[in-house]
């Protein structure tokens, strides 16, 4: 896998990976450098070595690298190679990858201790990461480390593997490597930080994934996964959570998770969970958005009635049909005692709040706008963005090993937004968009853009030219272009059911096809969707995999609201998530690694408080969507999990004596009426 234009590896991360490389002495693997080696004294001048270390500590990595190289030229093996590798480490810290790569290639470790080979492979792997070639980076570290390795190098080996796996989206294996690293850390503070990173990595996974991949027997890894599920499932009940943590410890008495970690997480969850007591809801009751608003309102109320009566907030609805009234309505809600606001829905209304400077109470707007200068910290934005879907299509195709793409989208701003988002993400990952075409939504024949996309029009033109030259009929077998790996398209169901057969008819039946969720009407219809065979697409879990028996499933809501199967069906799920998100916004705001499993996807916040959704994937088989599950989340530009967390409060904890395992008391039956 080769990812270009990536700025993942910062100087800080380099420093983290290279722990142990910047030392005031030669590597311990060299003769004469051990505490009681009995070997001759090292020939390397200690004064010059100390000077190189001082330069590194001052941040002058280029000068340090030059001094290491100067020393290396005067030293015999293996001191020469040790100094060269230290010079490479300094060059990596200086972000001079070209010089680092050149010097690493010149460093010959043949015949030396296997430890030298590992050190060289670690640095080559880091260079591959910086170039975005994650497959090469991981292959360099596939072999297990040799015996007799120093603790520093063993830590670095597992830390680097964990980072590569994280960048590839393989969070489960990344957490496993962090677990291996954890066993090598003796410093209590560093170990707590690493254990935070383990839990944060696992909580990115959905609860379903954590259940499905639970090892049997669970062991240490299974213990971490169970603990992550407890953290993910926190719903504002400290007493219940403490019981769950106590039971977890009884089930995993020898687990390495420190008591301070459990108590620290428990206290953090309590601080970050923000129960709503008075909720203001700003939705239009008339106008073009009234139908969408009604679906959102019904979803909100469905989620509202799932809470026990004692935990339900007071609700006040405000008619925001006139976007100009947004700020007065917000002030009215604040004066009436609201502690949170859901809405508005209109983009211009959201823009008013974004330009307000400060917001006294948090607002979860039900639409997304472009970032504004000086945007209030208390403004959160949630919408079913087609741009997010296009980006996830790019990621899924890349994870499927594809690299050359064609795209076809509708004419107009909607299609342009989807295409631009797909192109930007696809090219950032290292893929190539060979060509893109648009189609007229109101047209009846979509063959022309498909012929152009597949270069079949050029093939036809060549035939006509040959006939004119030869003045006779030429046997003609149309040939499409052969350089394409897959086709991406965006279309509503009626048009999608025409585009897919046309691709097959025009000699592209064997090319994989990916689409956005818009091709799926929301309910299985084998007769109508039979022509979509093989198409992969992302959609919301509420439509693809609602839990059987759930009172918030599409089937359950459709019994109360027949419109839940209509054109606004996805907005019912968004209404449910809008309500359920509110108490978790404080936790999600901490880091993009914090997530919430919702009806519209696995939800998380970016740096400007916009909600993003990781969608579920399906493939059309015999006209029915076959659920493939969630694709790994690929992120570029984010720090390693744990690095962006504020410190937890780690009080001195005296472990409580074991208590008998007893069943949890059954919760009070909530009022289910709507």
Closest CA to 353 of 336, 335, 329: 329
Q: Parallel, antiparallel, or unpaired: how do β-strands 611-614 and 602-605 relate?
A: antiparallel
Query: Is residue 149 one of the residues assigned to a domain?
Result: yes
5-17 pLDDT per residue, tens: 333 333 333 333 3
- Sequence-separated (6 or more) residues with CB below 8 Å from residue 484: 404, 405, 406, 434, 454, 511
Q: Quick check: 97 and 127 in contact, CB under 8 A?
A: yes
Average pLDDT of span 262-283: 91
User: Is the pLDDT confidence value at 458 over 60?
Assistant: no
Quote the pLDDT of residue 254. Answer: 94
Residue 63 is assigned to a structural domain of this protein: yes
Weakest mean pLDDT among 513-517, 604-608, 655-659:
655-659
Asked if residue 549 has pLDDT above 70, the reply is yes
Look at residue 102 and tell me if it is in a domain: yes
Q: Give dist(CA 541, CA 600) in Å, integer.
A: 6
Residue range 122-133, pLDDT digits in tens = 999 999 998 888
Range of the domain at 102: 11-30+42-164
Cα separation, 270 vs 237, in Å, equals: 8
State residue 655's pLDDT score.
Answer: 30
Q: What's the pLDDT score for residue 28?
A: 59
- Residue 27 near residue 112, CB atoms below 8 Å: no
* Contact between 541 and 599 (Cβ < 8 Å): yes
Using CA atoms, how far apart are residues 69 and 87, in angstroms rounded to an integer? 6
Predicted pLDDT of residue 631: 84
Strand order in the sheet with 611-614: 596-597, 602-605, 611-614
> What's the whole-number mean pLDDT along residues 100-120?
94
Query: Distance between CA atoms of 595 and 228, rounded to whole angstroms?
Result: 11
CA distance 269 to 263: 10
Taking the C-alpha atoms of residue 279 and residue 611, their distance in angstroms, rounded to an integer, is: 19
pLDDT of residue 27: 65
Helices (H), 78-139: 79-93, 97-106, 114-130, 134-139
Q: What CATH number has the domain bearing residue 122?
A: 1.25.40
- Hey, which residues does 278 pair with through a beta bridge? 314
Angle, alpha carbons 556-557-561 (nearest 5°)? 135
Q: What is the predicted pLDDT for the residue at 543?
A: 95
| Maximum Cα interatomic distance, the chain, rounded to a whole number of Å | 97
Question: What does the pLDDT look like over 148-173, one tens digit per residue?
Answer: 888 999 999 999 999 999 888 889 99
Arithmetic mean of pLDDT, 539-547? 89
Structure tokens at 418: 């989807």
What was the pLDDT predicted at 167?
A: 86
CA–CA separation, 231 and 266 (whole Å): 8
Are 363 and 354 a contacting pair, CB within 8 Å? no
In the chain, the N- to C-terminal Cα span, in Å, equals 50
What is the structure's pLDDT at 20? 35
pLDDT in tens, 385-424: 999 999 999 999 998 989 999 999 999 999 999 999 999 9
Residue 484, by phi and psi: left (phi above 0), alpha (psi -120 to 50) or beta? beta
631: Cα separation from own chain's centroid: 9
Domain assignment present for residue 173? The answer is no
Per DSSP, the three-state class of 77 is: coil
Between 482 and 442, name the one with better pLDDT: 442
Q: What pairs with residue 377 in β-bridges?
A: none
Who wins on pLDDT, 266 or 61?
Answer: 61
State the alpha helices, DSSP H only, in 596-667.
none
How far apart CA 240 and CA 81 sit, in angstroms, is: 58
pTM of the model: 0.80
Tell which residue, 84, 117, 121, 115, has the closest CA to residue 100: 84
Instruction: Look at 242-251, 347-356, 420-429, 456-465 and tell me which has the smallest mean pLDDT.
Output: 456-465
Look up tokens 């937890």; give the residue: 648
DSSP 416-441: HHHHHHHHHHHHHHT-EEEEEEEE-T
Whether 565 contacts 554, CB under 8 Å: yes
pLDDT in tens, 195-249: 999 998 998 888 888 998 999 899 999 999 999 999 988 888 888 898 999 999 9
Q: In the numeric block, which tokens belong to residue 317? A: 């609805």
Q: How many domains does the chain have?
A: 1
- What proportion of the chain, given as a percentage, has pLDDT over 90? 65
Determine, yes or no, domain membership for 240: no
The CA–CA distances, whole Å, from 522 to 128, 484, 545, 617, 624 equal 43, 30, 11, 14, 11
Q: 62, 61, 67: which is closest to 84 by C-alpha?
A: 67
**Distance of CA 403 to CAs 3, 85, 433, Å?**
11, 35, 8
> Looking at the domain assignment, is residue 79 inside a domain?
yes
Average pLDDT over the chain, rounded to whole? 85
Q: What is the dihedral of CA 384, 390, 391, 392, to 10 degrees?
A: 80
pLDDT of residue 26: 62
Mean pLDDT of 647-674: 32
Give domain status of residue 205, yes or no: no
Residue 116 lies inside a defined structural domain of this protein: yes
**C-alpha angle 663-665-668 in degrees, rounded to nearest 5:** 150
Max mean pLDDT range (141-150, 471-480, 609-618) = 609-618
């Amino acid at each position: 896998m080769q990812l270009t234009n990536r700025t993942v590896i910062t100087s800080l991360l380099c420093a983290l990976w290279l722990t142990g490389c910047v030392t005031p002495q030669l590597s311990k693997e060299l003769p004469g450098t051990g505490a009681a080696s009995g070997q001759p004294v090292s020939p390397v001048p200690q004064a010059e070595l100390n000077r190189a270390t001082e330069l590194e500590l001052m941040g002058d990595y280029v000068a340090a690298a030059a001094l290491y190289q100067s020393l290396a030229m005067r030293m015999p093996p293996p001191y020469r190679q040790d100094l060269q590798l230290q010079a490479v480490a300094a060059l990596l810290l200086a972000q001079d990858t070209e010089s680092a790569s050149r010097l690493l290639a010149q460093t010959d470790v043949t015949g030396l201790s296997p430890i030298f080979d590992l050190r060289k492979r670690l640095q080559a792997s880091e260079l591959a990461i910086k170039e975005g070639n994650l497959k090469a980076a991981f292959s360099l570290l596939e072999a297990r480390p040799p015996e007799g390795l120093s603790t520093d190098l063993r830590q670095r080996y597992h830390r680097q593997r964990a980072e590569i796996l994280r960048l590839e989206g393989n969070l489960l294996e990344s957490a496993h490597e962090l677990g291996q690293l954890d066993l090598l850390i003796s410093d209590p503070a560093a170990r707590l930080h690493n254990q935070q990173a383990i839990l944060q990595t696992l909580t990115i996974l959905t609860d379903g994934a954590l259940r499905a991949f639970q090892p049997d027997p669970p062991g240490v890894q299974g213990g971490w996964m169970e603990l992550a599920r407890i953290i993910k499932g926190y719903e504002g009940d400290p007493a219940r959570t403490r019981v769950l943590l106590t039971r977890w410890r009884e089930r995993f008495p020898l687990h390495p998770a420190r008591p301070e970690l459990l108590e620290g997480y428990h206290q953090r969850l309590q601080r970050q969970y923000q129960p709503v007591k008075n909720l203001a809801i700003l939705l239009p009751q008339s106008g073009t958005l009234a139908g969408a608003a009604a679906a959102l309102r019904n979803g909100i109320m469905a989620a509202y009635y799932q809470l026990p009566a004692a935990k339900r907030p007071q609700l006040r609805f405000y008619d925001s049909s006139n976007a100009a009234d947004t700020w007065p309505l917000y002030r009215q809600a604040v004066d009436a005692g609201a502690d949170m606001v859901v809405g508005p829905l209109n983009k211009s209304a959201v823009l008013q709040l974004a330009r307000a400077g400060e917001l006294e109470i948090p607002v979860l707007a039900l639409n997304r706008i472009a970032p504004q200068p000086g945007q209030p910290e208390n403004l959160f934005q949630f919408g079913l963005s087609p741009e997010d879907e296009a980006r996830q299509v790019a990621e899924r195709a890349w994870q499927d090993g594809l690299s050359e793409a064609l795209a076809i989208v509708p004419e107009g701003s909607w299609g342009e937004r989807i295409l631009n988002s797909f192109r930007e993400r696809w090219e950032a990952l290292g893929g190539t968009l060979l060509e893109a075409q648009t189609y007229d939504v109101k047209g009846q024949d979509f063959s022309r853009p498909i012929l152009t996309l597949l270069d079949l029009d050029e093939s036809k033109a060549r035939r006509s030219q040959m006939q004119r030259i030869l003045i006779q009929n030429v046997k003609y077998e149309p040939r499409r272009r052969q350089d394409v790996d897959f086709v991406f398209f965006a279309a509503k169901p009626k048009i999608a059911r025409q585009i897919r057969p046309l691709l097959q008819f025009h000699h592209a039946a064997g090319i994989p096809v990916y689409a956005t969720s818009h091709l799926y009407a929301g309910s299985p219809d084998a007769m109508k969707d039979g022509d979509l065979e093989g198409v992969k697409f992302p959609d919301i879990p509420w439509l693809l995999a609602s839990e059987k028996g759930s009172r918030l499933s599409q089937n359950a809501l459709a019994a109360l609201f027949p419109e839940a199967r209509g054109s606004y069906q996805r907005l019912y799920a968004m209404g449910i998530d809008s309500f359920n998100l509110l108490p978790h916004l404080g936790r999600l705001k901490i880091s993009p690694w914090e997530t919430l499993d919702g009806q519209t996807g696995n939800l998380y916040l970016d740096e400007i408080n916009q909600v993003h959704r990781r969608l579920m994937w399906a493939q059309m088989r015999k006209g029915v969507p076959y659920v493939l599950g969630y694709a790994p989340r690929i992120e570029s530009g984010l720090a390693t999990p744990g690095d962006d967390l504020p410190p937890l409060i780690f009080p001195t904890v005296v472990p409580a004596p074991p208590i008998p395992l007893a069943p949890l008391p059954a919760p009070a039956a909530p009022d289910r009426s709507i």
